[in-house]
Amino acid sequence: MAISLPAREILQVEDLRTAFFSKEGVVEAVNGVTFSLRENSILAVVGESGCGKTVTALSILGLLPYSGRITSGRVLFNGVDLATLSQEALRQVRGKEIGIVFQDPMSSLNPSIPIGTQVEEVLLAHTSATRQEAHIWAQELLTEMGLPDAGRLLKQYPFQLSGGMRQRVMLSIAVALRPKVLIADEPTSNLDTTLQAAILSHLRLLKQEYGTAILLITHDMGIVAQMADQVAVMYAGAIVEYTDTVSLFQHPAHPYTWGLLQSLPRLDDAGRKLRTMRGRPPDMMNLPAECPFLPRCFKASNICRTSPRPALRSVEDGHQVACFNEMRHE
Ligand SMILES: Nc1ncnc2c1ncn2[C@@H]1O[C@H](COP(=O)(O)OP(=O)(O)OP(=O)(O)O)[C@@H](O)[C@H]1O
Ligand SMILES: [Mg+2]
């Protein structure tokens, strides 16, 4: 009988805090985020626009813009604190061990360099491939990603490609060297449903075939349901619920998660209108001391108004929630 070892934690984020500093004030974009990503699994980070998903990813990768700074916490990759690495060593990790797909592929591809050169550069920088080998390899990578006529595509510039094609080129680059971790920030936003399905199934394949651990950032609970093994729900820079996907959908414990699930259209109720959650997320430059979900919460009580923002705590095995009045199930 085969012995299955428990999956290792490949990426650990511990109490990460990131802020942006400007003349106008301080934006506390990430406020104490802790999670771990296991090999051969997909962890979805989900939440409304502005809750800190992208800034979390940029902080992990050491790619924050000038005004942003990690103010506390650690990021461990394979047990190594990324903050202790030199810029060069970090670049090596980013190119080879951690693949990245950004929200907007146009901003990450160089507009003035043909696609082929951009894919080949990654292969040449991190392997001993010759230019000719890299060219053939690049062609294979694009074909594998379902891009037709890869030979011709390699000669084109990013602006000559559709958004969906650019996104697939980005993904080809990100996974070319079979990274242990892939960070995919909204990899299918702005794509039609057919392309979205193709990219998502490719991500699942990466996990199955190579054991790639994927941090999948999305605001779409439908994608979470299809893809994720575990889910971290973010609100105002912090994780408010953290559990496996089945528990999240069967027993959402945070009122915010409940609200997100309510706004999903249901297959069994075609006539139902899509509901959006009432209220708006807080201003990240003026976060309240108490729970930032309070003004929108239907479970709010006195303790929520008089206490500091609640921390994550376990409500059952492997299910954590940051709420004083979490929803219970029988
Ligand atoms: N360069 C920056 N300077 C100042 N504030 C920033 C900067 N980048 C992001 N922020 C702020 O940090 C907060 C988190 O932003 P982030 O981009 O991580 O949100 P997000 O969850 O990725 O949203 P979306 O779903 O729209 O991509 C927001 O309040 C945003 O305005
Ligand atoms: Mg984002």
Query: How is the chain split into domains, by residue range?
Result: 9-228
Tell me what the mean pLDDT of segment 123-140 comes to. 94
Query: 53 versus 95: which is more confidently predicted?
Result: 53
State which of 18, 26, 55, 256 you would mutate to test the pocket of ligand 1, scoring each by most atoms of that ligand within 8 A of its C-beta.
Answer: 55
Examine the pLDDT at 270 and tell me if it is beyond 80. Answer: no
- With a cut of 70, say whether residue 196 has pLDDT above it: yes
311: left (phi over 0), alpha (psi -120 to 50) or beta: beta
Which ligand has the nearest atom to the CA of 47?
Answer: 1
* Percent of the chain clearing pLDDT 70 (strictly above): 94
Per the CB < 8 A criterion, the answer to whether 255 and 304 are in contact is no
Whole-number pLDDT of residue 72: 96
Give the per-residue pLDDT at 266.
62
| 9-228: CATH number | 3.40.50.300
Distance CA 186, CA 24 (A): 29
Phi, psi of 307 (to 5 degrees): -115, 155
Q: Is the pLDDT of residue 269 over 60?
A: no
Q: In what order do the strands lie in the sheet with 25-38?
A: 25-38, 9-22, 68-77, 80-81
- As given in the structure block, the two tokens for residue 84 are 């202790």
For the entire predicted model, the pTM comes to: 0.93
When comparing pLDDT for 330 and 176, which is higher? Answer: 176
Give every CB contact of residue 218 below 8 A, 6+ residues apart in sequence. Answer: 44, 45, 46, 186, 224
* CA 126/CA 120 separation, integer angstroms: 10
Q: Considering every ligand atom, which ligand is closest to the CA of 52?
A: 1
Q: What is the pLDDT of residue 189?
A: 81
What pLDDT score was predicted for residue 243?
A: 97
User: Which ligand places an atom closest to the C-alpha of 284?
Assistant: 1
Which range is least confidently modeled, 128-137, 174-183, 269-278?
Answer: 269-278
Q: Alpha carbon of 248 to those of 164, 173, 192, 291, 311: distances in Å? A: 30, 32, 27, 21, 18
Which residue's alpha carbon is nearest to atom 24 within ligand 1?
49
* Predicted local confidence at residue 330, as pLDDT: 61
State the pLDDT confidence band at 144, using cuts at 50, 70 and 90: confident
Using CA positions, which residue lies closest to atom 14 of ligand 1?
52
**Quick one: pLDDT band at residue 136, thresholds 50, 70, 90?**
very high
The whole-chain average pLDDT of the chain stands at 91
pLDDT at 162: 87
Task: Out of 28-42, 237-251, 262-276, pick the least confident.
Answer: 262-276
CA distance 246 to 259: 17
Residue 198 has pLDDT above 90, yes or no: no
* Selected residue with higher pLDDT from 184 and 271: 184
Q: Pick from 18-32, 137-151, 159-173 the range whose average pLDDT is largest.
A: 18-32
The Å distance, Cα 156 to ligand 2 centre, comes to: 28
**Measured on CA atoms in the order 84, 85, 91, 92, is the torsion positive or negative?**
negative
Measure 189 CA to ligand 2 centroid, in angstroms. 11
Pocket of ligand 1, candidates 30, 54, 107: which has the most ligand atoms within 8 Å of its Cβ, to mutate? 54
Rounded distance from Cα 24 to ligand 1 centre (Å): 15
Distance in Å, CA 30 to ligand 1 centroid:
9
Alpha carbon nearest to ligand 1 atom 26, residue: 49
Residues with beta carbon inside 6 Å of ligand 1?
A: 20, 27, 29, 47, 49-55, 65, 67-68, 103, 219, 284
Ligand 1 pocket test, pick from 24, 27, 280 with the greatest ligand atom count within 8 Å of Cβ, gives 27
Reading the block at residue 292, the tokens are: 């930032």
> Which mutation among 53, 59, 280 tests ligand 1's pocket best, with the greatest number of atoms within 8 A of CB?
53
Average pLDDT value for residue range 239-264: 93
Average pLDDT for residues 272-281, to the nearest whole number? 71
Spacing, Cα 2 to ligand 1 middle (Å): 45
Residue 146 has pLDDT above 60, yes or no: yes
Residues 219 and 298: their CA atoms lie apart, in Å, by 22
